[in-house]
Homo-oligomer: A and B are copies of this chain.
């Protein structure tokens, strides 16, 4: 199906993720009007000036008369925001989100929306960067990027189809996955690498000659640590929201690192080489 044209799309949290969604829907001709909701007036003002949103309103007012609402807030705020907007939600309106964890977001949506949970379709766009705010929004952020939808058994097929079409209109490759599988997969391919990069940077900073070391980092250091610059509030929330899977991933990684340490310490070059070659081969074959 192709997506319907929405009279009013509401973006709660007009940053990189929310702002880029607004720009992409506008470019696709799917949003007659985009209303931004946020706590930082300067950011909303910038979003207005950049044409990311058409107007800024308080949440209740924005949601009244909205057809589509996109939540781009830290996952820990999902329940509070949904509780505030629920009384103002039209019966035909749909809600989707951009959170990086899905079991907690779905639980929050169930708790906050009650029977209106059928209007919510959980989504995770695999896109982002280390930049924040409305000024970072890009019309092509979702172009050719994956978006994972996590429908529940009671998610209506029509709501799922519409939200799928909306993300496709943003240029995304949309696929579905149960929320539990989503959280386990992204604990491995996203949350763990972020935790390792945060731990690595802290490790370097804790050493006596941290300043010299930072000066000596080359292109490998640059790329390996890029995600170590991620937003602290967002990543603290993600780690806690997906705590069990993240801790499992760290524990299994620790065991693998211990194996590598053993190979280096025993001086078994053939085993060490085979370990590195497995990584090297898989990474050289990998494409985004």
A: which residues have CB within 8 A of B?
126-130, 145-146, 148, 185-186, 188-190, 192-207, 209, 212-214, 216-233, 235-236, 239-240, 243, 246-247, 249-254, 256-257, 259-261, 264-265, 267, 269, 272-280, 282-284, 286, 288
Jot down 27 A-B pairs with beta carbons below 8 A, ordered by A.
A126-B218, A145-B218, A185-B216, A186-B216, A189-B216, A192-B200, A193-B224, A196-B257, A197-B279, A197-B283, A198-B276, A198-B280, A199-B253, A199-B260, A200-B256, A217-B288, A224-B227, A231-B280, A232-B280, A233-B273, A236-B273, A239-B264, A240-B272, A243-B264, A243-B267, A247-B265, A250-B264
A282 to B146, CA, bound (A): 30
- Would you call A205 and B280 a contact (CB within 8 A)? no
> What's the least CB distance linking A262 to chain B, in Å?
10
> What's the least CB distance linking A194 to chain B, in Å?
7
> What's the least CB distance linking A210 to chain B, in Å?
8
A123 to B170, CA, bound (A): 50
* With contact pairs A229-B283, A275-B198, A279-B202 given, residues A190 and B218 touching in the complex (Cβ less than 8 Å): yes
* CB closest residue in chain B, given A257: B199
Which residues of B are found within 8 Å of A259, using beta-carbon distances?
199, 202
Which residues of B are found within 8 Å of A254, using beta-carbon distances?
254, 257
A77 to B262, CA, bound (A): 24
- Would you call A220 and B213 a contact (CB within 8 A)? no
> What's the least CB distance linking A4 to chain B, in Å?
29
- Would you call B232 and A207 a contact (CB within 8 A)? no
